[in-house]
Amino acid sequence: MTHSQPLLPLLAEAKERVAGELHRRLHAEGFVEIRPSHGCVFRFIEPEGTRLTVLADLSGLTKQAVGEVADDLERLGYLERAADPADGRAKLIRLTPEGRRSRSAALRIMGEIEAEWAERFGPARTTALRELLEELTGRAGAPAA
Amino acid sequence: MTHSQPLLPLLAEAKERVAGELHRRLHAEGFVEIRPSHGCVFRFIEPEGTRLTVLADLSGLTKQAVGEVADDLERLGYLERAADPADGRAKLIRLTPEGRRSRSAALRIMGEIEAEWAERFGPARTTALRELLEELTGRAGAPAA
């Protein structure tokens, strides 16, 4: 093996660097107190709202752990709980207008970071990275959000 | 934007898939109860031992969070606490022989996963992925562990 280090820590560190940069820029734009740990909600929440148990399943975290993140985001004004129209006893979690603004800003910033990579590493290499990650995760060909 | 989704969730999902596969294979080899959350210790611990505060700094977690992972790994027999020769009042965390065996197995398994990617996606694409991640994280040219 002539590898400098295994792919897993490389992927982990790349992800942490992008997340760190995203959060620095979100804070600079006034979306304060959003932290990488909040990603388990922002990454999976649907526009019309999502049940806590679904977020827990998708993120691989416990319902309690996601519940704590949801409590935190509710306290910060990014998230609210509402009755589920499909089941009056169940609650949906959904973004407030401020939560939707922060999510839009995050999507724009991530696009900016990718454009900076294309400039730094070349568009062909950046596209190749994206395509391999999409194949690997089975996300190839998914429609734009 | 014609992107299917931003790079951050793609990187996060790729990392989680590799981590999931690694842990399935570790369990199959008898290294039971090792979980992805234990990575904050395995990823950064030095052969001669490492202070808890250093692991917290490197992993970006709180000292309390890393301490809970260390307690867990100590209970499972993968880790032990020892006096720091450089400061008798400080403690070093270091792997037990079983912890070192699990780490060796993890490194071998990650190499096997990368070899499978090279077969699935082609060696050129897999090498290009590694090289871009190494440049991105500043790990290019680091010596083999």
To the nearest whole Å, the CA of A26 is away from the closest chain B CA by 14
Decide if the complex's ipTM is over 0.90. no
Mean pLDDT to the nearest integer, B65-93: 91
**A136 to chain B: nearest residue by CA?**
B14
d(CA B135, CA B137): 6
Say if CB B82 and CB B94 are below 8 A apart: yes
pLDDT of residue B19: 93
Least confident of A22-26, A35-39, A109-113, B67-71: A35-39
Residues of chain A with Cβ-Cβ distance to B13 below 8 Å are 133, 137, 139
d(CA B66, CA B113): 27
Q: Does the beta carbon of A64 lie under 8 angstroms from any beta carbon of chain B?
A: no
- B59 vs B25: which has the higher pLDDT: B25
Quickly count: other Cβ atoms within 10 Å of residue A33's Cβ: 14
pLDDT of residue A119: 95
Best mutation target among A116, A120, A137 (most B Cβ atoms within 10 Å) is A137
Give percent of chain B with pLDDT exceeding 70: 93
d(CA B35, CA B50): 20
Say if CB A11 and CB B133 are below 8 A apart: yes
Q: Does the beta carbon of B55 lie under 8 angstroms from any beta carbon of chain A?
A: no
pLDDT of residue A1: 43
- B7 to A144: CB separation less than 8 angstroms, yes or no: no
Confidence of residue A92 (pLDDT cuts 50, 70, 90): very high
Residues of chain A with Cβ-Cβ distance to B125 below 8 Å are 128, 132
Q: How does the average pLDDT of chain B come out, rounded?
A: 89
DSSP letters, A54-104, are: HHHHHHT--HHHHHHHHHHHHHTTSEEEEEETTEEEEEEEEE-HHHHHHHH
Of the candidates B62, B4, B11, which has an alpha carbon nearest to the alpha carbon of residue A16?
B11
Q: Domain residue spans in chain A?
A: 8-137
Mean pLDDT to the nearest integer, B91-104: 94
What CATH code is assigned to B7-137?
1.10.10.10
Mean pLDDT to the nearest integer, A22-45: 91
What CATH code is assigned to A8-137?
1.10.10.10
Strand A87-95 and strand A79-84: the pairing is antiparallel
Residues of chain A with Cβ-Cβ distance to B143 below 8 Å are 4
To the nearest whole Å, the CA of B88 is away from the closest chain A CA by 32
To the nearest whole Å, the CA of A124 is away from the closest chain B CA by 11
Residues of chain B with Cβ-Cβ distance to A12 below 8 Å are 15, 39, 43
Residue A2 has pLDDT above 80, yes or no: no
